[in-house]
Amino acid sequence: MSSEKEHRLSSIFTSHQSRTIGIFITFLTTLLTLSVFFYLSVIPSDSLEYEYEYESDGDGGFATNRYHHDFGGGFMKPHLEEWKIWIGLSDGRDRRGEAKKIRLLSEVFQERFPKIEKRFARTLNAPALERLAHCIETNTCGRDEEKVVLLASFHFNNAMTGGTSGEDIWAKSTLEAFTSLNYTLLYTFESMDTLTLYQGLGDKVQTILWEGNQLDACSKRNESNWETFENDHTSGAFQNQTEVKKFGCIKKEGYEEGIPLEKSFTFHFWQGPSNPLGRQFTLSPENYALSNKGGEGNHYLGYSIESRCRAVPLPSSRHHRGMALGKYAKYFNTSSSEWVWGKDDILGKAISSIPPSEEGEHEKFEMIATGGHDDDKTGKHEDMYKGITNLGKLPQDEWYQTLASSKFLLGVGKPNMSPSPYDALCFGVPFINPIMSWNHSDPEDWTKWHTQHDALRPYGAPYVYHVQKENGEQLEQAMRDALATPIKSYIPPPMTKESVKQRHRTLVETDWKPFAMTAIKELYTDKDKEFPYLVL
């Protein structure tokens, strides 16, 4: 009995000892495995091989020379990389090499295109390229961060330096949309700095937004894209031979390293195509197809004023007044054929017909304007129109407050398609939109109207009042209705931040080659015209 008990105890002890040894071996194996994984994850497998240098190609672009460092890595590097790919620690990309190439591109760009005060946006390229290089190197890029957009219109610079033109406001909205989508944005001003960045980044560049004249300048560089010259080699087989030096900008046969035209879109505020590939590649701030006969229009990208409008604190009350849209006195020239309120002082009569406010202290109605030129000696504001008080040019923030504390915004025929009526609606201020021409047999058919702001034709009272030119009765009634019918803040659905953002995403993430091929057929091949560029 005692012997059996001893045997049982011995078995338990042996089993416990085996389990301990097994746990210890498992621990050591796990530790060793984790150490290997850690080592493989932190060692840059590409550190054993490549460095990059840039050499100018003599024409604004550059060529890349790659040379080899072999610290015994000729054997180790490929095997190490294969192991890291196999166990899921690497995606097979030469991340360190990519990052180094981007950093050297940044150095070359800054040297070749130095900072200029009037080109502030160029200072943003270096930090943007460093962020891109860092996230690639460390494999920490956020969603879509590796998608690069080149902004080759000066309006993007203006948008960041206080520009207030329609194009600048559109550009500011585009910057907001692209930033919210986490794309890497780079700024250029000439065809050659655009080419330099494209050649340095290659397929990372998804889209280029050109100013029309810069795309033209880039295209013209392709007209004579070959030049022979004596090379400067002093020895070897190349002595006294001639070489062919390539010039160009847009991708074409013989200059395949150029910028693809199918990635090139023109930033164009007005109607009509402004791109070799036609309307689909001509970006537009408004959906002009809705107002054109046959539904023809450029690529509607659009813009939103929602963010800047929402940032303006609205007044608790409004003055008993209207505000005239027009910053130049010439817009109020009654002898001009473009003046919409007639030569018989139709506007003045409408202003004088409005009674004082029925609220509070019965404030007298007033019509104001903001613009014109000030007298250099007296500082007096220029007279814009009899019966209208001109407050002169105002800083943008003050102009917003002045508009927001008025009860309506009145169009006078010019400027066309201004963003200001959208600001007014967002502030809860109705807009009176002059109709310059219409179908006299059916005057209510708004699709046949030509107005100061055609994009607002589909919207009616109490937000937008459409008034036929020189129709004093309609004008007076619209002014009275706008004063009597307050509105809440309103943003047309296509102009919300989300709508604009989605159209920008579509622009960048669509494969435009099939559209380019269709445009080539319709605009060139079918008309027996030569298409001088290369779209593969």
Q: How confident is the model at residue 27 (pLDDT cuts 50, 70, 90)?
A: confident
Distance CA 187, CA 320 (A): 45
Q: Which residues contact 112 (CB under 8 A, 6 or more apart)?
A: 56, 60, 193, 196
Residue 467 lies in a domain: yes
**Same domain, yes or no: 419 and 361:** yes
Question: Domain range for residue 203?
Answer: 95-233+243-304
**Same domain, yes or no: 225 and 342:** no
**Same domain, yes or no: 252 and 398:** no
Q: How confident is the model at residue 239 (pLDDT cuts 50, 70, 90)?
A: very low
Dihedral sign for Cα atoms in the order 178, 179, 184, 188: positive
More confident residue, 18 or 160: 160
Residue that terminates a domain, selected from 288, 304, 320: 304
pLDDT score for 242: 45
Residue 71 lies in a domain: no
Which tokens go with 338?
A: 């473009």
pLDDT score for 1: 53
Q: Does pLDDT of 16 surpass 80?
A: no
Nearest to 145 by CA among 178, 184, 108: 184
**Same domain, yes or no: 250 and 375:** no
Q: How confident is the model over 443-493, as pLDDT tens digits?
A: 999 989 999 999 999 999 999 999 999 999 999 999 999 999 999 999 999
Q: How confident is the model at residue 289 (pLDDT cuts 50, 70, 90)?
A: confident
Q: Mean pLDDT over residues 272-299, rounded?
A: 90
Q: Does pLDDT of 42 surpass 90?
A: no
Residue 481 CA: distances (Å) to CA of 84, 232, 446, 477: 73, 80, 20, 6
Query: Counting every residue, how long is the chain?
Result: 536
Q: Does pLDDT of 287 surpass 90?
A: yes
Residue 365 lies in a domain: yes
When the pLDDT of each residue in the chain is averaged and rounded to a whole number, the result is 86
Which tokens go with 523?
A: 């605009």
Residue 399 lies in a domain: yes
**Same domain, yes or no: 463 and 334:** yes
Q: Does pLDDT of 230 surpass 60?
A: no
Q: Does pLDDT of 43 surpass 60?
A: no
Q: How confident is the model over 145-165, as pLDDT tens digits?
A: 999 999 999 999 999 998 989
- 236 sits in the region (left: phi over 0; alpha: psi -120 to 50; else beta) called left
Q: How confident is the model at residue 82 (pLDDT cuts 50, 70, 90)?
A: low
* CA–CA–CA angle 187, 190, 195 (5° rounding): 80
pLDDT score for 50: 41
Residue that terminates a domain, selected from 253, 276, 304: 304
pLDDT score for 295: 76
Is there a contact between 434 and 325 (Cβ–Cβ < 8 Å)? no
Q: How confident is the model over 510-535, as pLDDT tens digits?
A: 999 999 999 999 999 999 999 999 99
The residue whose two tokens read 């923030």 is 397
pLDDT score for 67: 38
Q: How confident is the model over 55-74, as pLDDT tens digits?
A: 555 455 554 444 344 444 44
Residue 50 lies in a domain: no
Q: Does pLDDT of 318 surpass 90?
A: yes
Whole-number percent of the chain with pLDDT over 90: 68
pLDDT score for 294: 72
Which tokens go with 427?
A: 């502030």
Dihedral sign for Cα atoms in the order 280, 281, 282, 283: positive
**Same domain, yes or no: 272 and 338:** no
CATH code of the domain in which 354 resides: 3.40.50.2000
pLDDT score for 390: 96
pLDDT score for 115: 84
Total tally of structural domains belonging to the chain: 2
The residue whose two tokens read 């840059």 is 44
* CA 103 from centroid of its chain's CA atoms: 24
Q: How confident is the model at residue 383 (pLDDT cuts 50, 70, 90)?
A: very high
* 3-state secondary structure at position 39: helix
**Same domain, yes or no: 295 and 423:** no
Q: Mean pLDDT over residues 37-54, rounded?
A: 49
**Same domain, yes or no: 197 and 144:** yes
**Same domain, yes or no: 364 and 261:** no
- What Rg value do the Cα atoms of the chain yield, rounded? 33
Q: Mean pLDDT over residues 245-260, rounded?
A: 87
Distance CA 63, CA 55 (A): 5
Q: How confident is the model over 414-447, as pLDDT tens digits?
A: 999 999 999 999 999 999 999 999 999 999 999 8
Q: Does pLDDT of 15 surpass 90?
A: no
The residue whose two tokens read 């033109």 is 165
Residue that terminates a domain, selected from 260, 281, 304: 304
Distance CA 207, CA 194 (A): 11
**Same domain, yes or no: 457 and 378:** yes
Q: Mean pLDDT over residues 241-265, rounded?
A: 83
Q: Which residues contact 12 (CB under 8 A, 6 or more apart)?
A: none
Q: Give the residues across from 23 on adjacent strands.
A: none
**Same domain, yes or no: 279 and 370:** no
pLDDT score for 91: 67
pLDDT score for 148: 98
**Same domain, yes or no: 299 and 314:** no
Is there a contact between 451 and 435 (Cβ–Cβ < 8 Å)? yes
Residue 512 lies in a domain: no
Distance CA 399, CA 273 (A): 34
Residue 499 lies in a domain: no
How many C-beta neighbours within 10 Å does residue 118 have? Answer: 9
Q: Does pLDDT of 196 surpass 80?
A: yes
Residue 532 lies in a domain: no
Q: Which residues contact 186 (CB under 8 A, 6 or more apart)?
A: 124, 125, 128, 129, 148, 149, 150, 151, 197
pLDDT score for 7: 58
Local structure of residue 239 (DSSP, 8 states): T
Q: Does pLDDT of 89 surpass 60?
A: no
